[in-house]
Amino acid sequence: MAPSSQVKVIEFYKIAPPPGSVAPASLPLTFFDLFWLPFPPPQLLYFYELPHPLAHFTNTLLPRIKHSLSLTLLHFYPFAGNLSWPEESPNPMIHYKGGDSVSLTIARSEGGFHRLSGNQARESKELHPLVPQLPVSGSVVPMLALQVTVFPNSGICVGVTMPHAVADAKTILNFVNSWASICKFGEASLSTQSLPFFDKTVIKDPRGIEKRYLSELTNYFRSKFRDRRLGVLDFGLPDDIVRATFELSRANIARLKERVLALQKKDKQLPPSRFSTFTVLCAYIWVCLVKAGDERVSFSFNVDCRTRLKPPVPATYFGNCVGTRVVTAERADFMRQDGIVVAAKLIEDSINGLNDGSLDGAEFWISRLLSSGVKGKVWAAGSPRLGIYEADFGWGRPKKVELASIDKTGAIFISESCNGDGGAEITLTLRGPEMDAFASVFVNGLEGKGYAMYRSGL
């Protein structure tokens, strides 16, 4: 692996919005945010090929990175603030005041850029030195930490860490993509349609879910810390895990959908239906894991609720607005030839249950999480429609984007293909033998056509 000693910090900055540009402000957390309060923070790593020496980065790129970050924080000012839950406050709050800033670490690595940004299986902890460090417990928690690691003459890695309670994937990516656009084209490139929407009152809570969550979280944090400081769950995942990325081309996905449709037509009891790419990918991953010997028979995933709520929430709403769904099947169902249809139907029906904005079962999300964590569940994060590869800072699209935090949650990271060809990428962490078993089932199920084959890098 690439030991942490190969990553050396060379500069540390505090980046704030332009002086006097933002008035002090506070934002409460909604019940959507509160659900994610005990989760480990998301940790995104953007790898870019950049065959230039360190001096080129320091003299040419670093000033642009710092200046554009300051301008971006003018519009996304809460990220420069802090998250706190004082004893006298009934609700955790995001606070920003003049002088608040974001930590930006600049580091140098002698590790193998192409290995770290590859798809092959390698120890998950190889990525840890590239992740910006952010406190996860205490009375006050920073909102954002950034790290840019330079691999001289090879590339750079932009790392992003933030508490999950303050932002979902759409909000995080809106920030990163806005920062990249300003860095490449200047502030004028930021369209009004991409500006964050901060009004938390658009999230309605007629069923009192927020009050219930606050009570359960208060009891949890006090039992864990003896007071109501912030903290995160320990999901108890092993350290000896490897990570690998599996690529599916547009043709692979089309064949999976055709297979599902054909299997449905064989069953005359129900009319065949076409499932979304996300549903088919999740169903295929779940079935492959079970066939590879995984004992988890429940599947958990997130669904963006912005357009599903009544009234709908703006696309650039700042915060969390995702519904968590859990579906469960019998192991024997997945061993059948039509196992992927069973899985797809369960997932699609659960998604459709959110279409009326009812958020059925939302009042139990926190209690289930605090009682069982992710035990017994396959947890999916991301989507092939998020646009995670759109962040171009001026040196091209990312070669690879990793969600490093799946080491802590055990989630499966789903994104669009880095090639922009309509394909998808699936990244997961398992123990070595489990990864080999999964890879065998996964590749054989695709019949190896057009598939970037799994290669062990251990």
**Among all residues, which ones are annotated catalytic?**
164, 392
Listed residue (397, 456, 451) closest to 426, CA to CA: 451
- Tell how far CA 337 is from the center of its chain: 32
* Beta-sheet strands, E only, within 173-321: 242-248, 298-304
Q: How many CB atoms lie within 10 A of CB 345?
A: 20
Query: Can you tell me the distance from the alpha carbon of 418 to that of 207, in angstroms, rounded to the nearest whole number?
Result: 41
Q: How many CB atoms lie within 10 A of CB 107?
A: 20
The alpha carbon dihedral of 55, 404, 141, 32 has a sign of: positive
Instruction: State the first-to-last Cα distance of the chain, in angstroms, to the nearest integer.
Output: 9
Beta bridge partners of 109: 7
Q: Hunting for tokens 């398992």 — which residue is that?
A: 430
Reduced to 3 states (helix: H, G, I; strand: E, B; else coil), residue 262 is helix
Query: Can you tell me the distance from the alpha carbon of 173 to that of 40, in angstroms, rounded to the nearest whole number?
Result: 18
Q: In whole angstroms, how far apart are CA 258 and each of 351, 385, 446?
A: 21, 20, 12
Query: Can you tell me the distance from the alpha carbon of 350 to that of 413, in angstroms, rounded to the nearest whole number?
Result: 20
- Helices 62-75 and 169-185 meet at what angle, rounded to 10? 130
Query: Can you tell me the distance from the alpha carbon of 288 to that of 270, in angstroms, rounded to the nearest whole number?
Result: 24
Query: Can you tell me the distance from the alpha carbon of 355 to that of 305, in angstroms, rounded to the nearest whole number?
Result: 8
